[in-house]
Amino acid sequence: MEFQADNTTDGYILEILPRENELVRPPIANIDIAILVFSATEPSFSTNLADRFLVAIEKEDITPVICISKMDIASKSEQEVVKEVKEVYEAAGYEIFLTNEQVSKEALLELVNGRVAVIAGQSGVGKSTLLNRLNPELTLSTAEISNALGRGRHTTRHVELLPIGDGFIADTPGFSSIDYDDLSPENLQFCFPEIEDRRAGCKFRGCLHENEPACAVKTAVAENEIARFRYEDYLQILTELKNRKPRY
């Protein structure tokens, strides 16, 4: 949307631009990049939650970038887990940053330049902290993890475009549930790059890579070419989609 504002309370809509993509939660459209923030600890990194976020982004044809925060305070075992899954996601084609590394700041700024990005993730993983680091003038409020709930307290209340470098990042409230109302079981495989890359090798054209024989995806899992946790997350989401009750 293009608009003209002569003051802080009044303005005019000049043109409504085409909508290329959109997210429902958070409510935002026409995004170039989605920066998905997870933490190595407090709360601990969850590959299942990461894969669910990735599916929500992939189905909208938005480029996802994964950031994992709090590596500096994570235990040795938590750090090892993150390093292992980092290799898996990078092999699948995802760009992933450990955000306590100085190099990640410059790389993220370069990614955002000239683009509109959205930052999303659970509450308490450090989204506002990351934005403050990218643009110290923002001084966004942050909050500690709730010991009782084991997750972060909401510090962002609404979606807001923030200037970061030569681009914009939409800060969003944290959320922990994701819906796939417009995703069919047949199209889920396109949200997992390593599965999509191997689907042509399956014997049956409509293979869902579940119980079908001569499935190239299942062979790749057995030969450790596809990470088992990624395949299991795919099957879990696939089952949910197949069992989903229709909405009218």
Binding site for GTP, residues?
69-72, 121-129
DSSP string spanning 189-221?
GGGSHHHHTTGGGSSSTT--SSS-SS-HHHHHH
Per the omega criterion (within 30 degrees of 0), is the bond before 136 cis? no
* Pick from 244, 240, 124, 236: nearest CA to 175: 124
Binding-site residues for Zn(2+), in ranges, read 202, 207, 209, 215
Surface-to-core class of residue 149, CB atoms within 10 Å of its CB (0-12 exposed, 13-18 middle, 19+ buried): exposed
Adjacency order of strands within the sheet including 116-120: 95-98, 63-69, 33-39, 116-120, 167-171, 160-164
Binding-site residues, in ranges, read 69-72, 121-129, 202, 207, 209, 215
Q: How big is the CA angle at 135 (ends 134 and 141), to the nearest 5 degrees?
A: 100
